[in-house]
Amino acid sequence: MPEAIQTLQGLLESAGQLLATAGVPDSRREAIRIWSDLDRSGAAATMLARGESVVGERATAYLAAVGRRAAGEPLAYVTGWTGFRHLTLATDARALIPRPETEGLVELALARVRQGAAADIGTGTGAIALALVDEGDFESVAAVDCSAEALDLARSNGKRLDLEVEWLEGDLMAPLAGRRLDLVVSNPPYLTDAEYSALDPSVRDFEPRLALPSGADGLTVIRRLLDEGRAVTAPGGWMALEVDCRRAAATAALAEGFGWREVSVQDDLFGRARYVLARQGFN
């Protein structure tokens, strides 16, 4: 029997209805976004092609992706791509999806240091490290992650974008022993165990647990970064951390307790205390 001919418009309408029934907000927009991302085209091109027929594998793959989204899987994992500053990154369940807040962390870091040696701790998709290479003028940028799977994803992003990063597998600062860095940037795990358990299922059930909780007080990893970071940060060098807004003040106090100077808390675009900046002393 000949395969039924379906226009892209009809396919998008069916997908929008499925997403709406599943309770996905802005279901029509999401349906268009999934198609355009999978097709590597923009939303405008998708709308212009609404009258074209879609059959076979393209329709099947699209509907399968829509089904995954309807089941609660994050959009970036469904389409396999996400934007970060000036970059488009491959994204899947091996690493945390980069958030807009982390783009602000890069902005603050680059406002303080644009040259020398930098490192991204807990790199995930490689977003921070790749943005530093893309926008800065660093002699070297290293990226550390304890997950070999995440590093494989980050490495593939770097290769596709033709941006050179030194990818290092290991625990926080350990692979950087003996170095003197001008900038250390990290979006570390910063939720309490209780907060992690209460996360929306779209995050808790799909994104890697390794990147989210950090002990009973949410500060276990941050405490280690501030402590161990002193040994690898050059005099006058900076550390830039993304933190939970509920613990920004506590993080700043920890930084001061470890002897960091010029400690400040900065807000994100939503007015939440999201970043802690600290500088290594000169003596």
Question: What is the domain extent for residue 14?
Answer: 8-71
Quick one: which of 107, 215, 94 has its CA closest to 147?
A: 94
Quick one: which of 68, 88, 78, 89 has its CA closest to 33?
A: 78
- Per the CB < 8 A criterion, the answer to whether 110 and 275 are in contact is no
Q: Are 190 and 56 part of one and the same domain?
A: no
On whether residue 1 sits in a domain, the answer given is no
Q: Based on the structure, what is the number of domains in the chain?
A: 2
* CA angle (135, 138, 143) in 5-degree steps: 85
Q: Are 196 and 134 part of one and the same domain?
A: yes
260: domain CATH number is 3.40.50.150
Q: Are 184 and 267 part of one and the same domain?
A: yes
Q: Are 139 and 118 part of one and the same domain?
A: yes
User: Model confidence over 54-74: pLDDT tens digits?
Assistant: 777 888 888 999 999 999 999
On whether residue 76 sits in a domain, the answer given is no
Res 59: pLDDT: 85
Last residue of a domain, one of 71, 97, 118: 71
Last residue of a domain, one of 71, 98, 124: 71
Q: Are 159 and 225 part of one and the same domain?
A: yes
User: Model confidence over 169-214: pLDDT tens digits?
Assistant: 999 999 999 999 999 999 999 999 999 999 988 899 999 999 999 9
| Residue of 282 and 106 predicted with greater confidence | 106
User: Model confidence over 239-258: pLDDT tens digits?
Assistant: 999 999 999 999 999 999 99
